[in-house]
Homo-oligomer: A and B are copies of this chain.
Amino acid sequence: MAESAFTIKQTAKLTGISEDTIRYYEKIMLLPRAERKDNGHRVYRKDDIYTLKLISCLKKTGISLEAMRPFLAVSADSHPAENPDLVDQLRDQREAIVNQISSLRQLVDFIDKKLEEGRGGGGCSEPSPGDAKPISVVEMSYFPASAG
C-alpha cells in the first residue's frame, strides 16, 4: 500500500534540508506542490527525497536556485533530449561549471604556492574556450588579461 511515505520532518532529516526551506522551495515552485494527506499535511516519497538530495548536491556547487531549474526539469523528465530549450540550458550550465572548475583549480594552486613558499602570485584568467585541459597555473602572470 503506502509505498514509503515520509512526513516533512522525516524528509528534512533525510535530506539535511530544513522543513522551512522545503516549504520555501515549494512556495517558489522549485519543487512541485507536494501531495497532501486528508489533514493537509505534506507527504513525500522516494522520488521527492531524491530530488531534494539533488538540490542539496547542486547547492554544494554554488549555483543559484534559478539555475537549478533546468536540472530538476531534466531530472523529472525522462526524455530530456526532446526538449531543445532544456538541452541548451544544460549545455550553458555545463560550460559555466567547467569554467568554474578551472577557476577553482587555479585557486587551489594559488593556495598551495602560498602555503609552500611565502611569495608569488596566482591569478585567474578567462578559461580558453577550448575545454578542461590540465592548466599549468604555475606559469600564470600576475595580470592575466585586462577586461576590455
Q: Are A15 and B147 in contact, CB atoms less than 8 angstroms apart?
A: yes
Q: Are A147 and B16 in contact, CB atoms less than 8 angstroms apart?
A: yes
Report the Cα distance A108→B101, complex, angstroms.
10
User: Which residues of chain B are within 8 angstroms of A53 by Cβ–Cβ distance?
Assistant: 123, 143-144
User: Which residues of chain B are within 8 angstroms of A50 by Cβ–Cβ distance?
Assistant: 121, 142-143
Specify the chain B residue showing the minimal Cβ separation from A57: B124
Which of B71, B94, B115, B123 sits near A90, CB closer than 8 Å?
B115
A interface residues, how many (CB within 8 angstroms) = 52
Q: How many copies does the complex hold?
A: 2
User: Which residues of chain B are within 8 angstroms of A60 by Cβ–Cβ distance?
Assistant: 99-100, 103, 124
Question: What are 28 A-B interface contacts by the 8 Å CB criterion?
Answer: A13-B147, A49-B143, A50-B142, A53-B123, A54-B123, A56-B124, A57-B107, A60-B99, A61-B62, A61-B107, A62-B62, A71-B111, A75-B121, A78-B119, A80-B115, A80-B118, A81-B115, A81-B118, A87-B115, A94-B108, A94-B111, A94-B112, A97-B104, A97-B108, A97-B111, A98-B108, A100-B104, A104-B104
